């Protein structure tokens, strides 16, 4: 209705007088309506509405109209009680907080290892032709191996404990960090390097104040991808062989044929992935505050 | 003190049958505090000449000397002003200007004074803590010039420094550079394809041949400038209107055009 009125209002010059009058009447009502529309059109409001819509569909499809087969497709009420069970009574050998703590710890350690090794290696490959020639063939061969293919070897070497998972997460998160740091260095404007050489920049300062800052936007892109890879790999690794963790919850719930608990596990991973990515984005915004907009 | 000497300098890229001869037997002397512009048809290797003085590229025959010494590597005694400014985007104006001084281990107090001086010289005082991307192209190039001047280099190398600027800004920067050359004369090697720019700025204009580039002729502008009192004229358009300017410009244009026609 409001759209119609504004459309009439727009080309009212071409309308007859009568219609022009009605259009201007409708036009007078517009400010009130557009106020509502403006409020509803705010991105956070739209996002909240979108989440509400999904919840509504979920309720409708399960508990209200029972469109989805009961038992296999959990209702929101079942989900809620499973969530409470996992939080307070515990499931798969511990409370959800305990599982989350274990998973989060492994991701953080694995991600930190990947960051501390991958970024320097990428920077080295980007800034030295020799280093590139040495590392590239090995890296190119290792890179297509899916991180999950390392799981059998990792378990064989390190058992079902944390170490094997950290190793696999490290390997998975390592690759995007290396590639993006490398690309970041290669992408630095050649004239900036020339300017730095002309200004007599010593080697250490060249790395610290020219190469690393120049590559930083892409280093962060790599870290975001690494974090994503870390979560994916962790869940897979915990599903294959673990005694605790969110992936283990998923595995046990599958064996128990417990769909609402599977959903609890999945959403937990979602929330964890989202919040760690958000934390990384906060660091990125802080660190890239000096960089021109649009380059990060 | 700063002089540049090209001694039969040549540059070949690659070797064997795929070798590419860019420069052949370039000979040119730039005296202390002299402003020499090199003009030439595109692809003649004029930028290569500058890059050899800067130390970004080495000669493959002959020599390139600065203050009588062979150039081996880039260094702050030969400051370069690039066409694309080449300012560090993550450093403020002040930090960009200060960077070379830090590399030269100039003490902090002295550094601050020098940076303040350079900011004042280029009219950048109010932009000291701005980032390059917050400035216009002309302002960015002022920062790049300040960054070069503050090093007190033996020679100043300018590689089409105003090529990326719009016409109005370019004129302002050209006037600015003439003012600078009077206030703080330096040995300057200036690469351009703008004949008017070269005649307006330089003491001598070297015309290069098409590839493989050589110095075709060197035209003295300084004697005309002092003889005709160009410096008494305030604006660039007044200088460009004088008969003497037009005459020199036409002379260089003809010389360049011969090369362009021959190249086709």
Q: What is the pLDDT of residues A34-82, one digit of tens each?
A: 788 888 888 899 999 999 999 999 988 888 888 878 778 899 999 999 9
The model's pLDDT over B94-153, given as tens digits with 9 standing for 90+, comes to 999 999 999 999 999 999 999 999 999 899 999 999 999 999 999 999 999 999 999 999
Asked if residue A167 has pLDDT above 60, the reply is: yes
Cβ within 8 Å, pair A192-B86: yes
Instruction: Indicate the average pLDDT of chain A.
Output: 86
Closest by Cβ to B133, choosing from A199, A209, A292: A292
At residue A8, the pLDDT reads 38
The domain of B43 spans 4-77+156-263
B155's enclosing H/E stretch is strand B155-159
Last residue of one domain, picked from the residues B152, B178, B211: B152
For residue A238, give Cα distances in angstroms to A165, A171, A232, A262, A267.
8, 15, 10, 14, 16
Chain B closest-CA separation from residue A122 CA (Å): 21
Of all residues in chain B, the one with the smallest CA distance to A292 is B133
At residue A24, the pLDDT reads 47
Q: Is A185 helix (H, G, I), strand (E, B) or coil?
A: helix
Last residue of one domain, picked from the residues B102, B122, B152: B152
Residue range B228-234: mean pLDDT, rounded: 84
Residue B172 is classified by DSSP as: H
pLDDT band (50, 70, 90) for residue A160: confident
ipTM reported for the complex, 2 dp? 0.90
Cβ within 8 Å, pair A201-B99: yes
For residues B225 and A32, the model is more confident at B225
Closest by Cβ to B74, choosing from A191, A198, A202: A198
CB contact set of A121 (below 8 Å; sequence gap of 6+): A135, A178, A181
Cα–Cα distance, A211 to A283 (Å, whole number): 19
Ordered strands of the B69-70 beta sheet: B20-30, B4-13, B61-66, B69-70
B136 with B207, same domain: the answer is no
What is chain B's Cα-based Rg?
Answer: 19
The model's pLDDT over B196-219, given as tens digits with 9 standing for 90+, comes to 999 999 999 999 998 889 999 999
Greatest Cα pair distance, chain A, in angstroms, is 86
Share of chain B above pLDDT 70, in %: 99
Cβ within 8 Å, pair A213-B99: no
Residue range B77-87: mean pLDDT, rounded: 94
- The CATH number of whichever domain residue B174 belongs to comes to 3.40.50.300
Instruction: Indicate the average pLDDT of chain B.
Output: 92
Asked if residue A15 has pLDDT above 80, the reply is: no
At residue A293, the pLDDT reads 61
Cα–Cα distance, A103 to A130 (Å, whole number): 39
At residue A21, the pLDDT reads 43
At residue A116, the pLDDT reads 97
Asked if residue A246 has pLDDT above 80, the reply is: yes
B165 with B136, same domain: the answer is no
Length of chain A: 296
B97 with B147, same domain: the answer is yes
A291: its two tokens:
């960089």
B184 with B259, same domain: the answer is yes
Residue range A209-238: mean pLDDT, rounded: 94
Chain B closest-CA separation from residue A183 CA (Å): 18
B13 with B143, same domain: the answer is no
At residue B126, the pLDDT reads 95
Q: What domain count does chain B have?
A: 2
B185 with B206, same domain: the answer is yes
For residue B132, give Cα distances in angstroms to B101, B140, B142, B144.
19, 6, 11, 10
Q: What are phi and psi of B235, to 5 degrees?
A: -110, 155
Residue range A254-279: mean pLDDT, rounded: 94
| Ordered alpha helix ranges (H), chain B | 46-54, 93-103, 108-121, 137-149, 167-183, 195-201, 222-227, 236-241, 243-263
Cβ within 8 Å, pair A200-B75: yes
Of all residues in chain A, the one with the smallest CA distance to B131 is A290
At residue A4, the pLDDT reads 38
Cα–Cα distance, B41 to A214 (Å, whole number): 34
B46 with B165, same domain: the answer is yes
Closest by Cβ to B103, choosing from A192, A202, A216: A202
Cα–Cα distance, B111 to B109 (Å, whole number): 5
B164 with B240, same domain: the answer is yes
Q: What is the 3-state secondary structure (H, E, C) of B21-60?
A: EEEEEEEEEECCCCEEEEECCCCCCHHHHHHHHHCCCCCC
A270: its two tokens:
């979602």
Cβ within 8 Å, pair B84-A191: yes
Last residue of one domain, picked from the residues B96, B117, B152: B152
B38 with B166, same domain: the answer is yes
B126 with B216, same domain: the answer is no
pLDDT band (50, 70, 90) for residue A177: very high
Residue A292 is classified by DSSP as: P
Asked if residue A265 has pLDDT above 60, the reply is: yes
Cα–Cα distance, A149 to A143 (Å, whole number): 12
Which chain A residues contact residue B75 at CB under 8 A?
198, 200
Cβ within 8 Å, pair B86-A189: yes
B229 with B184, same domain: the answer is yes
pLDDT band (50, 70, 90) for residue A28: low
The model's pLDDT over B156-182, given as tens digits with 9 standing for 90+, comes to 999 999 988 888 889 989 988 988 888
Chain B closest-CA separation from residue A119 CA (Å): 20
For residues A198 and A294, the model is more confident at A198
Cα–Cα distance, B191 to B155 (Å, whole number): 14
B36 with B97, same domain: the answer is no
pLDDT band (50, 70, 90) for residue B230: confident
Chain B closest-CA separation from residue A126 CA (Å): 19
Q: Is B160 helix (H, G, I), strand (E, B) or coil?
A: coil
Chain B closest-CA separation from residue A160 CA (Å): 46
* Domains of chain A (ranges, CATH numbers): 2-64 (no CATH), 90-287 (1.10.3720.10)
């Amino acid at each position: 209705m409001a759209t119609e009125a504004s459309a009439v209002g727009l080309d009212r010059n071409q309308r007859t007088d009568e219609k022009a009058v009605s259009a201007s009447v409708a036009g007078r009502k517009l400010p009130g309506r557009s106020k509502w529309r403006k409020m509803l059109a705010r991105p956070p409001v739209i996002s909240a509405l979108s989440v509400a819509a999904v919840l509504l569909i979920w309720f409708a499809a399960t508990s209200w109209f029972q469109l989805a087969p009961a038992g296999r497709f959990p209702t929101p009420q079942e989900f809620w009680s499973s969530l409470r069970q996992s939080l307070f009574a515990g499931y798969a050998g511990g409370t959800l907080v305990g599982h989350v703590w274990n998973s989060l710890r492994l991701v953080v350690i694995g991600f930190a290892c990947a960051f501390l090794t991958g970024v320097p290696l990428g920077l080295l490959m980007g800034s030295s032709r020799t280093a590139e020639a040495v590392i590239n063939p090995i890296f190119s061969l290792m890179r297509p191996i899916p991180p999950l293919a390392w799981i059998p070897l990792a378990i064989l070497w390190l058992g079902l404990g944390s170490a094997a998972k950290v190793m696999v997460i490290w390997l998975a998160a390592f690759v995007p960090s290396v590639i993006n740091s490398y690309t970041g260095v290669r992408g630095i404007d050649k004239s900036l390097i020339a300017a730095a050489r002309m200004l007599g920049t010593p080697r250490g300062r060249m790395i610290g104040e020219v190469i690393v800052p120049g590559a930083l936007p892409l280093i962060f892109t790599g870290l975001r991808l690494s974090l994503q890879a870390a979560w994916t790999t962790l869940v897979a690794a915990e599903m294959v062989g673990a005694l605790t963790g969110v992936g283990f919850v998923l595995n046990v719930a599958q064996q128990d044929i417990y769909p609402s608990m599977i959903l609890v596990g999945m959403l937990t991973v979602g929330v964890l992935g989202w919040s760690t990515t958000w934390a990384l984005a906060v660091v990125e915004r802080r660190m890239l505050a000096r960089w021109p907009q649009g380059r990060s | 003190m700063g002089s540049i000497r090209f001694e039969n300098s040549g540059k070949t890229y690659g070797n064997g049958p795929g070798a590419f001869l860019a420069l052949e037997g370039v000979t040119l002397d730039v005296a202390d505090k002299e402003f020499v512009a090199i003009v030439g048809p595109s692809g003649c290797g004029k930028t290569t000449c500058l890059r050899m003085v800067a130390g970004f590229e080495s000669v493959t025959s002959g020599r390139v000397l600065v203050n009588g010494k062979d150039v081996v590597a880039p260094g702050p005694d030969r400051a370069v002003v690039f066409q694309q400014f080449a300012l560090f985007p993550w450093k403020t104006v002040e930090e960009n200007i200060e960077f070379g001084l830090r590399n030269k281990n100039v003490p902090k107090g002295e550094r601050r004074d020098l940076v303040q001086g350079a900011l004042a010289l280029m009219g950048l005082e109010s932009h000291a803590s701005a980032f390059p991307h917050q400035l216009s192209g002309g302002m960015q190039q002022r920062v790049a010039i300040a960054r070069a001047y503050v090093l007190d280099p033996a020679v100043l190398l300018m590689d089409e420094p105003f090529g990326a600027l719009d016409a109005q800004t370019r004129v302002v920067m050209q006037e600015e550079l003439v003012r600078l050359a009077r206030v703080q004369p330096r040995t300057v090697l200036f690469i351009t394809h703008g004949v008017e720019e070269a005649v307006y700025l330089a003491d001598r204009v070297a015309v290069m041949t098409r590839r493989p580039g050589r110095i075709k002729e060197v035209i003295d502008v300084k004697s005309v400038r002092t003889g005709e009192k160009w410096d008494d004229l305030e604006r660039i358009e007044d200088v460009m209107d004088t008969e003497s300017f037009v005459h020199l410009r036409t002379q260089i244009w003809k010389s360049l055009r011969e090369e362009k026609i021959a190249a086709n």
